[in-house]
Structure 1
């Protein structure tokens, strides 16, 4: 079990799993910090859609795999959204990353020792509107390159 666990409780089964995880962590460590808040994790649906978009992009373009598509989208669409929306993000990006070569920037968007398995934080910082803008930007760019997303987007609308 890793040092930090996150679980969304949305059913009796998930509640049972959360209690089991908490109990196991307590037995192993004797000290556990628990944070809870009511509500739905707004990113779950968006993350599932984004992963499906990345899969489709990888299947229908010359990108090597899903992770390449994810890194590309984070750098080309996510970073500009955050730079436009958040002065602190923009200032930090400009000071620390703007001067880096493209290969380094794209590599930092994926799993790396410095930022962990999800890479440089971009999409996890989005609010709902920014997430929608990100989705729209991905669809606009890759639809123009022949990637078909209609089935994936109709599932979201349903």
Structure 2
């Protein structure tokens, strides 16, 4: 039996004070990591904010609207969109996600993949996305749904302001 792979240490900071607090924890983290892994890599990069609540609401709204016009439930459309559009984005951008998806889901028949995307399993796809990725995803969903003839609500008409939608569609 193999030993579980240790998780990387991740600390986020938006102020100098937060960054200094993270640096203060590094000696202990590095000592443990070197003992477990032998060699370590220290990376500092720009953090991409996670998807927004407005983006999530828009996705759910469009899936409900598709279910009212189509032949599947909103959850089935959500699973289909995750599988058809979200998986490709995350596999392209996230090696850890790509490995997990390929190992757990990618080899399965299409019907099982769809089941994995929906409740009760609900394989995480859009929860891993940054705002930029979620915007790309929503654009693909919009093109897919409207290309099939579904009429989707303009987000500006449902309490999501046009300035917030630009974030989604940018």
2:154 alignment partner, SS class: helix
CA distance in 1, matches of 2:80, 2:95: 23
CA distance in 2, matches of 1:136, 1:42: 14
1:47 equivalent in structure 2: 56
Shift of 1:97: 1.5
Shift of 1:137: 0.4
1:108 equivalent in structure 2: 116
1:88 alignment partner, SS class: helix
**8 Å contact from structure 1 (residues 53, 152) kept in 2:** no
Shift of 1:133: 0.6
- Structure 2: 5+ residue runs without aligned partners? 1-48, 164-170
Shift of 1:154: 3.1
1:143 equivalent in structure 2: 146
1:74 equivalent in structure 2: 82
**Of 85, 90, 94, which residue of structure 1 is paired with 2:102?**
94
**Of 57, 66, 90, which residue of structure 2 is paired with 1:57?**
66
Q: 1:94 to 1:42 in 2, by over 3 A?
A: closer
CA distance in 2, matches of 1:76, 1:132: 15
Equivalent pairs counted in the alignment come to 112
Give the TM-score, by structure 2 length: 0.60
CA distance in 2, matches of 1:59, 1:128: 27
Shift of 1:146: 0.8
- Structure 1: 5+ residue runs without aligned partners? 1-39
**Of 135, 138, 155, which residue of structure 2 is paired with 1:153?**
155
CA distance in 1, matches of 2:105, 2:64: 27
